């Protein structure tokens, strides 16, 4: 089998990669929503992989892996890797999890990072109201993640939150020392959410990046009585092209509240310091940023050797991402907690993809399916209606 073409289009919010072969089997990968600017990067790798046997996944990846980087510049490599596994599974007539060593669980726990309801404000009362709506969501999530602090509109909406100027462009981000009033406000919002969830549903917090070390330690210690699942990306994280393992280690060693990071990190080598220094308690790579699902599994296993837990990121990975996360999470060691559940946007994505269970999530879990490859396929006739101008031949 040989690769004859590499294509990329944007369906709704998600760029989609298609690898075409001379035996009529195609494989699909995806990029996080909003990554339309990565499309030329995907196509940049075309000449490197044409003519290769896609079932030799690692051999193909060795040709392109070193030309990726931290989020979002590892997305193209990652999506190609997932598409290769999709082909390999279809060619073998096996689900991808079989090719990764087989499953150790028949269903995988997910946490809520994408089933959202509009916030009407950023007071403790608003956070409690929003958490009550998520608690009642039909998916029955057993873990819910919510953004606070610098991973929320708080810097621009809560007066006197921190000693700095709030940036709202989405590019620069916010960073600085919190005021005493600001820290108390964040803690009060968390307490309000926990009062709604009690001990029935775990609460994880997406915090930054942007916290200073003193504030990170103060927050983590203040929340210890609440048994928070984790504090994510306090120091570095989303779109930050480095990790600062030593700084994370200082925070982690100061508290019993689990510290989490990793969604932006590309390749196993860049998790080495975090894991070997025990800088965090939980790592959370995204399969479409780390370099693919085999890379994610490698990190999960290495983390497990060091007593570190795994909760993969994935909120914006769409339905192809959902399929990839189900397949790889079925194979991860017992340090696995849950992966971040992604949804299809717009809603018509659910009309163009076949193979997903109905309902997808039951009581906070997704049943692992056994269809070949990723186990989901496009209804090409339905999907063609949503192809952008100039990409009408994407499925040809």
Q: Where are the beta strands (DSSP E) in the chain?
A: 3-11, 14-21, 26-30, 107-112, 143-147, 202-206, 231-232, 259-261, 282-283, 309-310, 339-341, 353-354, 365-367, 377-378
- 241 and 315 housed in the same domain: yes
- Three-class SS state of 52: coil
- 71 and 104 housed in the same domain: no
- Three-class SS state of 222: helix
CATH number at residue 307: 3.20.20.120
Query: What b/e readout covers 176-196, taking b as 16+ CB neighbours within 10 angstroms?
Result: bebbeebbebbbebbbbbbeb
- Whether residue 233 lies inside any domain: the answer is yes
**Do the beta carbons of residue 371 and residue 380 sit within 8 Å?**
no
pTM (predicted TM-score) = 0.97
**Do the beta carbons of residue 54 and residue 26 sit within 8 Å?**
no
According to the model, what pLDDT value does residue 171 have? Answer: 86
**Do the beta carbons of residue 74 and residue 286 sit within 8 Å?**
no
- 218 and 85 housed in the same domain: no
| Cβ atoms within 10 Å of 262's Cβ, excluding its own | 29
Specify whether the backbone of 339 is left (phi greater than 0), alpha (psi in -120 to 50) or beta. Answer: beta
According to the model, what pLDDT value does residue 262 have? Answer: 98
- Whether residue 264 lies inside any domain: the answer is yes
- Whether residue 236 lies inside any domain: the answer is yes
- 250 and 163 housed in the same domain: yes
How far apart are the C-alpha atoms of 141 and 111, rounded to whole Å?
6
- 85 and 104 housed in the same domain: no
Range of the domain at 64: 3-93+379-384
**Do the beta carbons of residue 74 and residue 291 sit within 8 Å?**
yes
- Whether residue 389 lies inside any domain: the answer is no
- 46 and 191 housed in the same domain: no
**Do the beta carbons of residue 60 and residue 86 sit within 8 Å?**
no
- Whether residue 396 lies inside any domain: the answer is no
Please confirm whether the linkage preceding 209 is cis (ω < 30° from 0). Answer: yes
How far apart are the C-alpha atoms of 65 and 266, rounded to whole Å?
10
> How many domains are contained in the chain?
2
How far apart are the C-alpha atoms of 350 and 343, rounded to whole Å?
9
Residue 310 DSSP label = E
Q: What is the pLDDT along the chain (396 residues), one digit of tens a residue?
A: 999 999 999 999 999 999 999 999 999 999 999 999 999 999 999 999 999 999 999 999 999 999 999 999 999 999 999 999 999 999 999 999 999 999 999 999 999 999 999 999 999 999 999 999 999 999 999 999 999 999 999 999 999 999 999 998 778 899 999 999 999 999 999 999 999 999 999 999 999 999 999 999 999 999 999 999 999 999 999 999 999 999 999 999 999 999 999 999 999 999 999 999 999 999 999 999 999 999 999 999 999 999 999 999 999 999 999 999 999 999 999 999 999 999 999 999 999 999 999 999 999 999 999 999 999 999 999 999 999 999 999 999
According to the model, what pLDDT value does residue 170 have? Answer: 77
């Amino acid at each position: 089998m040989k690769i004859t073409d590499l294509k990329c289009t944007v369906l709704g919010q998600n760029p989609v990669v298609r690898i075409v072969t001379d035996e009529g089997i195609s494989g699909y990968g995806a990029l996080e929503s909003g990554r339309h600017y990565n499309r030329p990067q995907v196509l940049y790798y075309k000449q490197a992989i044409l003519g290769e046997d896609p079932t030799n996944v690692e051999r193909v990846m060795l040709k392109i892996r070193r030309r990726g980087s931290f989020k979002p510049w590892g997305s193209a490599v990652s999506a190609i890797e997932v598409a290769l596994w999709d082909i390999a599974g279809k060619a073998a007539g096996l689900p991808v999890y079989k090719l990764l060593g087989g499953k150790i669980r028949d269903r995988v726990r997910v946490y809520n990072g994408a089933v959202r309801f509009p916030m009407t404000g950023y007071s403790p009362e608003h956070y409690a109201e929003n958490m009550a709506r998520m608690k009642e969501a039909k998916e029955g999530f057993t873990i819910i993640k919510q953004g606070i602090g610098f991973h929320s509109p708080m810097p621009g909406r809560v007066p006197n939150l921190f000693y700095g100027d709030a940036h709202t462009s989405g590019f620069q981000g916010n960073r600085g020392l919190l005021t005493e009033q600001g820290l108390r406000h964040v803690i009060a919002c968390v307490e309000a959410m926990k009062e709604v969830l009690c001990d029935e549903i775990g609460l994880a917090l997406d915090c930054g990046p942007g916290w200073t070390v003193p504030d990170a330690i103060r927050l983590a210690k203040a929340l210890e009585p609440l048994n928070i699942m984790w504090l994510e990306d306090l120091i570095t994280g989303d779109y930050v092209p480095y990790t600062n393992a030593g700084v994370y280690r200082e925070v982690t060693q100061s508290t019993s509240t689990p510290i989490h990071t990793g969604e932006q990190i590309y390749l196993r080598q860049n998790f080495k310091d975090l894991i070997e220094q025990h800088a965090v308690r939980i790592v959370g790579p995204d399969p479409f940023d780390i370099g693919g699902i085999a890379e994610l599994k490698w990190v999960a296993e290495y983390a497990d050797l060091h007593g570190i837990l795994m909760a993969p990121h994935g909120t914006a990975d769409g339905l192809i991402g959902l399929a990839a996360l189900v397949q790889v999470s079925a194979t991860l060691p017992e340090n696995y907690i849950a992966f971040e559940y992604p949804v299809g946007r717009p809603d018509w994505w659910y009309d163009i993809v076949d193979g997903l269970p109905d309902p997808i999530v039951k009581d906070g879990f997704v049943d692992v399916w056994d269809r070949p490859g990723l186990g989901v396929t496009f209804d090409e006739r339905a999907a063609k209606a949503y192809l952008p101008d100039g990409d009408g031949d994407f499925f040809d």
